[in-house]
Structure 1
Amino acid sequence: MIDQLMQKPDILLIITDQQRWDSITCADHGWGHTPNIDRLANEGVYFEQCYCAAPSCVPSRASFFNMQWPSKIGPMKNGDLWKTSWVQLFKDTGYRTLNVGKMHTQPFDAKCGFDQRFIVENKDRFNEPRFYDDYDKHLKQLGKTPPNRLTTPRAPDYTTNLGAFAWPLDKELHYDYYVAKTAKWLLDGLDDSPLFMQIGFPGPHTPYDPPAEYLNLIDESKIPFPPEYEPGDEILPLKQYRQIMIEGNHDGIMWNERPTSEQLRRLRKYYAANVAMIDEQIGEIIAKQEANGRLDNTIIIFTSDHGDSLGDHRQIEKWTMYDENIRVPAIIWAPGRLKEGQRSKQLIAQMDLVPMLFELAGVQLEDSGDAINAKSVLENKRPEREYVYAEHGGCTQLPDIECMTMIRNKEYKLVHYPNRDYGELYNLIEDPYELSNLWNSKSHASIRSNLERQTNSTT
């Protein structure tokens, strides 16, 4: 082991898209089928209270890969420019840096510190201006057309299936299978250089479209239903967002104001089946690295860019600051470098995983920006975060706002909308599902004021 630790480790950074924190079996009340992800947690470190910096892809990923809050680097919504990352630092120290799958840089083909990228963008396959990624080119050569935003509304059950479809092509042509197959191919061609590979699975992002065989892995009895929620007195952005998803066709979804229990169970089953497929492919990637004799000197990070409401708060997808959207799975597996089987309930931001990764890899990081070192928190060498933050700008799903900022500690969450007379405040101890907005509560006025001041002084 000493000889291995003298060598730079390989790094596999696995990022799924839109995966809830509770969709892995090892989570508290977890309801997915994820034996391989569970293995990483059981043999590594599982941060149970990890929060991303934004409830949509671009600002969340840009923040993570630059270790700064979105407003400090610019991208506040999907489509905003970002093309730099700390991956360049690994490249500068001799790593071969590869990206397979989704990064969601803007532009899509930004180098972002990688020697080479094998780009797979949104599952919806509807990007303007039109960008043909590596997956598009692969299917074009095969004469195949995957589902897209134009074809899914033609399905006979489109108005009732809430975005859940069985994958209509061969399993081998699924986006997530293609990403894993490409990653395994690249792992077979390694040289003596240390490897940094970011593997970006497009799933379980909408449409929820697993190959049918994975539905058999999901135990429906373990699927939780959303807590009962009545949106009558909601603030305007939340009402508008729900209505936009009901009236629109975003990511192949036609949402419903009041889905039935049967619809919700089906929706979550298809989502969990897509996660199960990804988990299977993660297991094969691990097996490939082991067959190459390099697994014992490999660090694996597993996380997601944000979550998904899946019917919680009568919403679908993301874009709001509820925990189901901003709390993410976060696991670091590093044999010989970390004690196995640690579960941390310490409050961290997702970007805090990055300084920890640099330290474990023995790569110098001179400036960690807004991030703190999660390893130091884990080892009680510094306190956990008192607060975590998230930000998002106005967009087509949030048309009435300029931006929103979330601040959260272990007791309260506040969502601030500048220049608006509304907001959100939740008591997370008494109301963990964030069902009762205390923004206008006189007895909570001092708590609200303190959190607003803290928000303005930090982000």
Structure 2
Amino acid sequence: MSRKPDIVMIVTDQQRYDTIRSLGADHMDTPNLDRLAERGVTFSNCHVTAPSCVPCRASLFSGYYPHTNGVLANGQEWSRTWVSKLQEAGYHTVNIGKMHTIPYDAPAGFNERFVVENKDRYYEGRWFFDEWDKALAANGLKKQQREEYRKRADYKTSLGAFTWDLPAHLQSDNFVGGMARWWLKTKPMEKPLFLVVGFPGPHPPYDPTPDYAEKYMQRDVPLPEVTEEELEQLPPPFVEKRRHDVEVDHDSVAWDLKPSRDQLHRMRAYYYANVEMIDREVGEILDALEEAGRLDNAIIIFTSDHGDCLGDHGLSQKWAPYEEVTRVPLIISAPSRFDSGRDVGELVQLFDLGPTILEWAGVSLEDSYEAESLNPALDGKSFKGRSHVFCEQGKDVNLTGAEYLTMVRSKTHKLVHFAGQDFGQLFDLVNDPGERTNLWDDPDSATVKQELKNVMLEWYVNSTIRTRNVRKRTVVPLAEPA
């Protein structure tokens, strides 16, 4: 291909890896994501570098691990990205929807930004009025959120699952999809395009429109199986998280320590319904690209910033680095460039997309990047992937019982280390893929436990050496000095 490709990156928020029908999720209907997978390359073992929104996205768009760029929890400021390098390479850069920079409207290397943030910003950024707020206000409406949901008699038992009862086109994901289509249909473009479409869902509140909610309420969906034995093995920070999530209704989710099967079914049905709504919007974005004559030379990326426990392990939402949280869908589709219908099962990290995209644009990579290009795998060359993937999280609004945790995962085992503590987690992923039996104190597992601790130590040391000249470069001042 002689022309630089258009690059369209679609990022959902909090979407589990097991939510795409063609990749094994028989309970889902996702025809458009299925089409992307059939016409693309799937990375089935892609893991995030942080189990929450802001640090994961800061890492994804910087090319550095959270401990390097200094963004370890939600609410921490970040705005420097590699997107500006695409501008310098001649790209027109656009973000429509959620990006979660702090501040929300930081340029972050984009020529245009149409910001849509969390559905429920009851505490953080409550009075920041994004494009969605403005659209609702223009129609004489305000969004459904915590202060309204709390008036419902069933609020405490709904686990964050509520239908969207305002006009369907103003539901957040429908709105973002519609804005992306509007932009593609109306904006004349002479430069190659880098477009990031950030869907707010299926992050809670889980708010599909009634028709989609009813569809999934009528079908069997996988529900969590949690035993008392597993709950007794949870480390103290996750026990504290369970308590905290009952007392504080973050994101309109009032958690229940012993939810009924009916409660769990409703929560998951609404979550899966929201995923299918996003799938429909993805299909319409692809149609808009085709109508604009941009699809044949486009590379389409579909992924998410992390997953959601949805009751697995007795936990709500994210922050705990189980597979349901750290492992995300990643599909890259460009049939004219990459052989289609392939699955790459080697371990990769979500932030590896950064150098991959920069290489497509002809941009030289910085030696200090901790992210690694996926292009050898896409090009069908020898690709070993990573021997280990890492995930880290600082103390956060929902993770109040730990100052800092680090996950290291090999192909066979996972270790979760809590800074300054004697407790932790160790799982044999071969014999216990559901991560239900904690082997941290098992004498027979002491050798693999120490091996993974050593890997984590070497990772930190090598990271410090490699990035010693670039630390804390992720924030751009609001006003550059003259």
269-278 or 121-130, which deviates more: 121-130
1:85 and 2:81 aligned: yes
1:184 and 2:181 aligned: yes
Unaligned runs of 5+ in 2: 461-482
Match of 2:221 among 220, 223, 248: 223
Alpha-carbon distance between aligned partners in 2 of 1:396 and 1:186, rounded to the nearest angstrom: 35
Q: Runs of 4+ in structure 1 displaced over 6 angstroms?
A: none
Q: CA deviation at 1:294?
A: 1.3
Alpha-carbon distance between aligned partners in 2 of 1:128 and 1:216, rounded to the nearest angstrom: 32
Equivalent positions of 1:346-385 (< 5 A) are 346-367=346-367, 369-377=369-377, 379-385=380-386
Structure 1 residues 257 and 201, CA, compared in 2 at 3 Å: closer, same or farther?
same
Match of 1:125 among 121, 144, 164: 121
Taking structure 2 as the reference length, what is the TM-score of the superposition? 0.92
Q: CA deviation at 1:382?
A: 4.0
25-34 or 427-436, which deviates more: 25-34
Equivalent positions of 1:335-346 (< 5 A) are 335-346=335-346
Alpha-carbon distance between aligned partners in 2 of 1:206 and 1:30, rounded to the nearest angstrom: 23
Alpha-carbon distance between aligned partners in 2 of 1:138 and 1:219, rounded to the nearest angstrom: 30
225-234 or 431-440, which deviates more: 225-234
Hey, what does 1:112 align to over in structure 2? 108
Taking structure 1 as the reference length, what is the TM-score of the superposition? 0.96
1:286 and 2:267 aligned: no
Alpha-carbon distance between aligned partners in 2 of 1:287 and 1:277, rounded to the nearest angstrom: 16
Structure 1 residues 181 and 95, CA, compared in 2 at 3 Å: closer, same or farther?
same
Hey, what does 2:415 align to over in structure 1? 414
Hey, what does 1:277 align to over in structure 2? 277
- What's the secondary structure of 2:95's corresponding residue? strand
Q: CA deviation at 1:24?
A: 1.2
Equivalent positions of 1:254-265 (< 5 A) are 254-265=254-265
One-letter amino acid matched to 2:222: P
Alpha-carbon distance between aligned partners in 1 of 2:26 and 2:257, rounded to the nearest angstrom: 26
Unaligned runs of 5+ in 1: none
- What's the secondary structure of 1:240's corresponding residue? helix
1:423 and 2:424 aligned: yes
Alpha-carbon distance between aligned partners in 2 of 1:245 and 1:68, rounded to the nearest angstrom: 30
How much identity, in percent, do the aligned residues show? 43
Cα deviations across residues 303-348 of structure 1 (Å, max 9, x unaligned)?
0000000110111110101000110000001121100101111111
One-letter amino acid matched to 2:13: D
Hey, what does 2:457 align to over in structure 1? 456
Aligned residues: CA RMSD: 1.5
Hey, what does 2:196 align to over in structure 1? 198
Alpha-carbon distance between aligned partners in 1 of 2:226 and 2:24, rounded to the nearest angstrom: 20
One-letter amino acid matched to 2:85: L
Equivalent positions of 1:40-119 (< 5 A) are 40-119=36-115
Alpha-carbon distance between aligned partners in 2 of 1:405 and 1:266, rounded to the nearest angstrom: 32
Structure 1 residues 132 and 219, CA, compared in 2 at 3 Å: closer, same or farther?
closer
Hey, what does 2:471 align to over in structure 1? none
Q: CA deviation at 1:228?
A: 3.1
Q: CA deviation at 1:164?
A: 0.4
Hey, what does 2:268 align to over in structure 1? 268
- What's the secondary structure of 2:283's corresponding residue? helix
Hey, what does 2:477 align to over in structure 1? none
Structure 1 residues 104 and 261, CA, compared in 2 at 3 Å: closer, same or farther?
same
One-letter amino acid matched to 1:58: V
- What's the secondary structure of 2:137's corresponding residue? helix
- What's the secondary structure of 1:164's corresponding residue? coil
Equivalent positions of 1:26-41 (< 5 A) are 26-41=22-37
